[in-house]
Amino acid sequence: MIEIEKRALVDKSQYEGLLKFFSKNGKLTHQFKRYTIIGIQRSDFIPDTIGDRDFRIRSDGKKGLLTLKVGNWHSGVARKEFEIHFDLSEIKDAMGILTEMGSHYCVSVYIERKEFLYKEYTVSIDKYFFNDDYIIDFEKLATNNSPEYIASEENKIQKTMESMGLELITSEKMIEFINKLNFIKRAQHNFEKTTIDDWYKEWEDYIYCRI
């Protein structure tokens, strides 16, 4: 499947205002905390702007999701996405797949997400715990894979977001944001030096979203 999505960074004041807006004008469909561990291609944790494979594992504390995104995130072009759901009791095996097929270098991210249905879009508003940042994401699954359709839908999303005073995040700003996440020392993992068992022991409360 192909997901069409656009993002914008927002500050705390915008975050609170957007929650009020979508609570009134949309429908809250999900609210949860989520732990994500993302494969990083470079040992210095600098974002790889050339790579076209993105492995990650997500947990909402109840179940796990192993995701492979194909396509260069830096290009702004819609990417293919493949997902496998799994029981959290199998997360160490999922991590084995990520580290062997993806990368030995990973970064942990912990967020609180509020997800709304607004018109034809899934709107996710995230609060990041380790760096106190906020981001909003508009997403729609493509029903047609033609470039013309995807470009048209991307334009619609952009106009909708701009009408709300949201400035779409540029590839440069996205790199800055990811850099900020990647360089939170406590969230960096090098599986050439640590084991999956040690990672699990240290991050179990986050994996099960108890914090």
Q: Read off the pTM.
A: 0.82
* The predicted structure's pLDDT at residue 202: 97
* The predicted structure's pLDDT at residue 53: 81
Task: Kindly report the three-state secondary structure assignment for every residue of the chain.
Answer: CEEEEEEEEECHHHHHHHHHHHHHHCEEEEEEEEEEEEEECCCCCCCCCCCCEEEEEEECCCEEEEEEEECCHHHCCCEEEEEEEEEHHHHHHHHHHHHHHHCCEEEEEEEEEEEEEECCEEEEEEEECCCCCEEEEEEEECCCCCHHHHHHHHHHHHHHHHHCCCCCCCHHHHHHHHHHHHCCHHHEEECCCCCHHHHHHHHHHHHCCCC
* Domain residue spans of the chain: 2-207
Question: Looking at the domain covering 2-207, what would its CATH class be?
Answer: mainly beta
* The predicted structure's pLDDT at residue 73: 59
pLDDT in tens, the chain (211 residues): 678 999 999 999 999 999 999 999 999 999 999 999 999 988 999 877 666 788 999 999 999 999 998 876 555 566 788 999 999 999 999 999 999 987 899 999 999 999 999 999 999 999 999 988 999 999 998 888 888 999 999 999 999 999 999 999 988 888 889 889 999 999 999 999 999 999 999 999 999 999 9
Rounded to whole angstroms, the Cα distance separating 41 from 173 reads 19
* The predicted structure's pLDDT at residue 114: 97
Rounded to whole angstroms, the Cα distance separating 180 from 210 reads 24
